[in-house]
Amino acid sequence: MTQKSSEGVRPDEPAEIGRRVQRLRGERGLTQRQLAEPAYTPAYVSTLESGKVRPSEAALRHLAARLDVSYEELATGRPAHLAAGVRLRLTDARRALATGAPEDAAALFGALHEEAVEHALVAEQADALLGLGDCLLESGDLTGARDRFAAVERLLADEPLPRRVPAIRGRATTHLLSGELRYACYLLESTLDELDTAGLHDPDALLLLYTASIAPYMDMGAHARAAHAAELALALAPRVDDPALVAGMHRGVARTLIAEGRIAEADASLAKAQELYRQLHIRTELAHCHWMRGYVHAQDGDLERAETELRTARGILASKRAALFTEQVEVELADVLRRRGRAEEAEALLRPLLTADDDEAGGAGTLGAGSLGAGRGAVHAGGAHRLLGLIAEERGDTESAEEHYCAALSLLERSSAVGDLADLCRLLGDLLRRTGRVEAAMDAYRTGLGHRAAPGTTTLGPAPATPPM
């Protein structure tokens, strides 16, 4: 196995280096003696050129100076400053993803990945794949994104665990958006435990993992764990220099504040995140802040401001062609519209969002083919069916309402979103009771109580160890 130098360069195999030295020496008209002296012998150069010895870093540096090339070019065959150029263009691709459409940024990341593979730039290959994964995640291709994140983990298998954390967090996010909440929690928690066991208390890695764990914890009803993760994230923030990580922390913490009824503090936390994202020109995350502020206002009963924020979020996400996130915002916007007495407008927004497969599985009528479903945005798909059930019930169509509630129940049971499940079981139980099916209503209520009895404890193992702060 080849060894890295003090500069992190991984030299080629001896035979390749030998051929390169011989070629460059011939191009410059040097004898083996001229190349070797004064530090080495002609015999050493001959042995090196035949590939029979692995040159030390000191020998390579001597030979590189005599051949008038960089150490990296002699050791790897890569042109000088190639890696720096690729890294600079990776930064440009990240900027393109932050400000533009994911498809356009993906083309840049794809080209950079090919170049990095051609020149065996492992770190740059990983960063390009990570960028591709983020592009696919934003555009809604969860399977493609998951494959890219897993490829990064394989590529960096020999690197320290903190180096792989962004890819692990990305893979966990794809499972969260697919509705696999328990597995998302497992990935994040097992990585936290592994970091702790190895004594790798990297602040950036820990902040990324704790922030990412808040959403699945909240959706599963594990509010105590979410609050603890938020506390740890807040404690870590002063040790982190990346403003994007800090902004993400503020956005995640706001979810726990909302759940605790601390609306003003949640809004203040989101305002901090929003300002950081605005300064960084990260439009997707800025949209997420508008989205969550809309949710905050809706929880506080200010539906007019909620609609304004949600429409702003929707506009930004649609302009970036972030399809899945746009559809999820539309579900929350539809909820606000229904509460404002505009049920027809809400229904028109919801129906195109649901996939045909989920409609057939839930028996909810012939809705338009859309994108949200069991494998993609399952929690919001359940929310869309719930809203359509409420709208149907309000207009007296109890049969359609029941079908939508059952479709939502099927989606949410698969995702373990216990808070939403309990609310849905209450709605279904009330409907069944009003239509005279008391026993069926009791079953629905019992199901809901079962999900609320011990939120999170039946699906999650012991909490991750708390790192030293």
Instruction: Encode pLDDT of 267-290 as tens digits.
Output: 999 999 999 999 999 999 999 999
pLDDT of residue 84: 83
Residue 75 is predicted with a pLDDT of 85
Per-residue pLDDT for 368 more than 60? no
Question: CA geometry: angle at 214 spanning 208 and 217, to 5°?
Answer: 135
Overall residue count recorded for the chain in this entry: 469
Kindly state the percentage of the chain with pLDDT values over 70.
92
Under the banding of pLDDT at 50, 70 and 90, the label for residue 458 is very low
The structure tokens listed for 5 are 């130098």
| Three-class secondary structure of residue 262 per DSSP | coil
What is the rounded average pLDDT of the residues 413-426? Answer: 84
Are the beta carbons of 199 and 166 closer than 8 angstroms? Answer: no
Q: What mean pLDDT comes out for the span 102-110? A: 94
Integer angstrom CA distances of residue 360 from 349, 364, 367, 415:
19, 7, 9, 19
Whether the per-residue pLDDT at 9 is higher than 70: the answer is no
What integer pLDDT is reported at residue 76 of this predicted model?
82
Angle at 385 between CA 382 and CA 391, to 5 degrees: 145
pLDDT of 345 above 90: yes
Query: What integer pLDDT is reported at residue 19 of this predicted model?
Result: 93
**Rounded to two decimals, what is the model's pTM?**
0.80
pLDDT digits (tens, 9 = 90+) for 377-388: 888 999 999 999
The answer to whether 432 and 441 are in contact (CB under 8 A) is yes
At 367 the pLDDT is 30
pLDDT-derived band at 6, boundaries 50, 70, 90: very low
What is the 3-state secondary structure of 55-90?
Answer: CCHHHHHHHHHHHCCCHHHHHHCCCCCHHHHHHHHH
Residue 120 pLDDT grade (very low, low, confident, very high; cuts 50, 70, 90): confident
- Dist CA 327 CA 210 (whole Å): 26
Least confident span in 73-82, 158-167, 239-248, 335-344: 73-82
Choose between 257 and 120: higher pLDDT: 257
Predicted confidence (pLDDT) at residue 190 exceeds the cutoff of 90? yes
Residue 235 has pLDDT above 90, yes or no: yes
**Average pLDDT, stretch 406-414?**
89
Considering 121-125, 151-155, 371-375, the range whose residues carry the highest mean pLDDT is 151-155
What confidence category does residue 469 fall into, taking pLDDT thresholds of 50, 70 and 90?
Answer: low
Looking at the predicted structure, is the pLDDT value of residue 91 above 60? Answer: yes
In contact, 139 and 169? CB cutoff 8 Å: no
Q: Look at residue 461 in the predicted model and tell me its pLDDT.
A: 66
Mean pLDDT of 235-244: 94
Report how far residue 43's alpha carbon sits from residue 90's, in angstroms, rounded to the nearest whole number. Answer: 44
Q: Quick one: average pLDDT of 84-93?
A: 92
Which of 119-123, 240-244, 357-361, 365-369 holds the top average pLDDT?
Answer: 240-244
pLDDT for the residue numbered 456: 42
Average of per-residue pLDDT values in the chain: 88
